[in-house]
Amino acid sequence: MVYEFEGRTEKEAIDRAAEELGLEKDDFDVEIIETVKQGLFKKGSVKIRIHTDKPVEVYKPEKETGGRNVTQDSGTEGGDVRFSQAVYGDPEAKNDFEQKIIDFITGLIERMGYPGKASILFREEKKLGLKIDSEYSSILIGKKGKNLDAIQLLANIYGGRQGREDTRIILDSENYRIRREESLVRLAYSVADRVRENRGSILLEPMNPFDRRLIHTTLNDIADVETKSEGEGLYKQVRVYYRGLRG
C-alpha cells in the first residue's frame, strides 16, 4: 500500500504518517518525492510517499488531549484510554507475552551457539524493547547490526504468531542501537561536507529503512545537499549529492 504525506520537514511528515496510519516508524519505508527549500518569501516543505505491507488503522488525534498522544485500548473493558509512555528499570516479564518473547530470544541464541540472557529494556504503547546480555554480543550484533536485525525479525514473527501483530519488538545489545545512530549522524555530516567540497555525489553502503531514514532526516535542513534512496529490496543505498543553493 502506498500513501503520501506532507510536512514542513521530513521528520514532521514521517511523524504525521505514523500517527495517522497507526504504524510504527519501522513498519514502513519512506520515499522523498518533493522537497521545497525555504526561501525569503516561501515556506519549506517536504512531500513523502509511504510504502508498507502492514495493515493500516487510520488514526486522528483528539483535539483536547493536552498535547499527549492517546490511543484507544481495545483490550480493556469499556474502551479505556491509555497514554503512550515508556517504562524503564524493570527487566522482569510482567505478563505471559513478555515471558514468551524472553524465552524465545534466549532459546534462539542458545541454539545458535552463543548463549546469553534476554530481558526487558523498555515498554511503550505497541512497542516492547528487549536487550541481550552475552559474552558473545559482538557476534550476535554482527556487521552493521545485521545479525541483531535478523534476530529481531524472528522475534517479531514469533510475537505475531502469539496474536500480538500490533506490538513491535525492538532488540538491542551493548547499546548498539544508540551507538549506531550516533555513528550514522557523524557519517551523514562528514559525507555532506565532502559533497559540498567536490560538488558531486557519494553513494553510501546498503542500509535498512531505519538507518536510511536517519541519514535523510539529518541532512534535510542543509540547503545545498540532497539525499535519495536507490536500489530495490529492504537494504537500499542512500545517495548524497550537491544541488547548489537556491535563492
Q: What is the DSSP string of 190-244?
A: HHHHHHHHHTSEEEPPPB-HHHHHHHHHHHTT-TTEEEEEESSSSSBEEEEEE--
- What is the model's pLDDT at position 154? 94
Average pLDDT over residues 198-223: 89
Query: What gap in Å lies between CA 171 and CA 213, rounded to an integer?
Result: 18
DSSP 228: E
Whole-model pTM?
0.56
Looking at every residue in the chain, the average pLDDT score rounds to 79
Residues of the chain above pLDDT 70, percent: 79
Helix, strand, coil percent content, the chain, rounded in steps of 5:
35, 25, 40
Identify the CATH class of 96-174.
alpha beta
Per-residue pLDDT tens over the stretch 60-115: 444 333 333 333 333 333 333 222 334 445 788 889 999 999 999 999 999 999 99
Q: What angle do CA 112, 130, 13 make, to 5 degrees?
A: 120
Topology of the domain covering 178-242: Ribosomal Protein S8; Chain: A, domain 1 (3.30.1370)
Q: Residue with C-alpha cell 551457539?
A: 113
The domain ranges of the chain are 2-64, 96-174, 178-242
Highest mean pLDDT: which range of 17-21, 30-34, 49-53, 160-164: 160-164
Per-residue pLDDT tens over the stretch 211-246: 898 999 899 888 889 999 998 887 889 999 998 644
Q: Checking phi first, is residue 61 left (phi over 0); if not, alpha (psi -120 to 50) or beta? A: beta
Helix (H, G, I), strand (E, B) or coil at 197: helix
Average pLDDT over residues 194-202: 90
Phi, psi dihedrals of residue 75, rounded to the nearest 5°: -90, 0
Lowest mean pLDDT: which of 36-40, 44-48, 131-135, 192-196? 36-40
